[in-house]
Amino acid sequence: MQLKRENLIPALRLLAAQGEILVPTAVDEKVSKFAPWDGSSAPDLALVNTTLPPKDTLFPHQEGMYRYKTAGEPSLEEIVEAPARILFGVRPCDARSIDCMDKVFLGDKYEDAFYARRRANVTVIAHTCAQTGPTCFCDSMGLSPAEAPSADLLLSDTETGWLVTAQTEKGEAVAALWKDLTAEGGEAAPAPACTLKTNMSDALAGTLVSRFEDPIWDEVCHACLGCGTCTYLCPTCYCFDINHEDHGGEGTQFRCWDSCMFSDYTRMAGGHNPRPSKKERLRNRYLHKLAYFKERYGQILCVGCGRCVGHCPSHLDITAFIDKAAERFGEGK
């Protein structure tokens, strides 16, 4: 079924009755993010990728967990915040990132209740890429700019609108909601090739772990500032810290994003730090993205969105590292 361009606003208005719609939005000339739809304007679906990923919809930058009282009669109350939301226009790389987060927070051994509640109330509508940006490399990570199998519904560009493909029960509900706005016909545009290419392979993932003490880690770490930009813009980074605000007899416990690139992330109470320098921290980040997550969950954690490549103030480039490692260790495709 095809949704014509002139029916986009009516389609969004139907969705708005189901929950808050978050769409790609340009904040200024340099920053874009998923923000609440204004109810009348067409969302900017020409954005190749938003600067900020949609991660905080499911895993907020700061999230209240419990309210407590210690004065008088002690009490502890769980904070429940799980509004119905629709993520509209999510690119395939970001759709894959949500799948990665699901594996962590909805795992078979432990389920994070805060994430699970939000996830149950979020519908993901993905939008295929008509073009790619200069730092996009998702197809080197095993993804396709034209596919988002974990999304609830997929919109594929045609000459006059979008093909609508429901992929889950949530997606089927959206398609049913739009049935009077869609019609037969339409042919999806061919998938573009990513601009940036890198020589990642299954063999290289295993080799990197075995080369834990190789000089390559000393060679690539020097430019790193330890600023954490890569982790805060990454759609699949999920490190967090837990803290509390106490106001004399009552307070709130909350969690907030943290970064493995910060020097105090692994510092212990006695002062010992098993990752004392940027070498150990950068090595951990790259191995987690390319090898450790794959060992545990069967897929690479890097989705090739290119945000870390495009926004690192020191121009550190994970694709350049992959190519350097593949050439040195003979593990290219």
CA distance 222 to 316: 10
Task: For Cα atoms 318, 321, 323, give the angle at the middle one, nearest 5 degrees.
Answer: 115
β-partners of residue 182 are 3
Tokens of 293: 């997550």
What is the average pLDDT across 13-30? 94
**Residue position matching structure tokens 């190519």:** 323
- Tell me 109's DSSP state: S
Structure confidence by residue, pLDDT tens digits, 95-127: 999 999 999 999 888 999 999 999 999 999 999
Res. 333 pLDDT band, cuts 50 70 90:
low
Q: Taking the CA atoms of the chain, what radius of gyration do you get in angstroms?
A: 21
Tell me what the pLDDT averaged over the chain comes to.
94
Is 11 within 8 Å of 3 (Cβ atoms)?
Answer: yes
Res. 260 pLDDT band, cuts 50 70 90:
very high
CA distance 289 to 279: 16
Q: What is the pLDDT of residue 258?
A: 96
User: Strand 75-78 to strand 85-90: parallel, antiparallel, or no bridges (unpaired)?
Assistant: unpaired
CA distance 162 to 180: 15
How would you class 262 by CB atoms within 10 Å of its CB: exposed for 0-12, middle for 13-18, buried for 19 or more? middle
How would you class 31 by CB atoms within 10 Å of its CB: exposed for 0-12, middle for 13-18, buried for 19 or more? exposed
Res. 248 pLDDT band, cuts 50 70 90:
confident
Structure confidence by residue, pLDDT tens digits, 165-199: 999 999 999 999 999 999 988 888 888 999 899 99
Nearest Cα neighbor of 234 from 304, 295, 284 is 304
The three-state secondary structure class of 293 is helix
Q: Is the pLDDT of residue 225 over 90?
A: yes
Structure confidence by residue, pLDDT tens digits, 157-169: 999 999 999 999 9
Q: Is the pLDDT of residue 332 over 70?
A: no
Tokens of 266: 């692994």
Tokens of 233: 């813009």
Q: What is the pLDDT of residue 331?
A: 73
CA distances from residue 32 to 38, 49, 57, 78 in whole angstroms, order as listed: 15, 8, 15, 33
Give the H or E element holding residue 36. strand 32-36
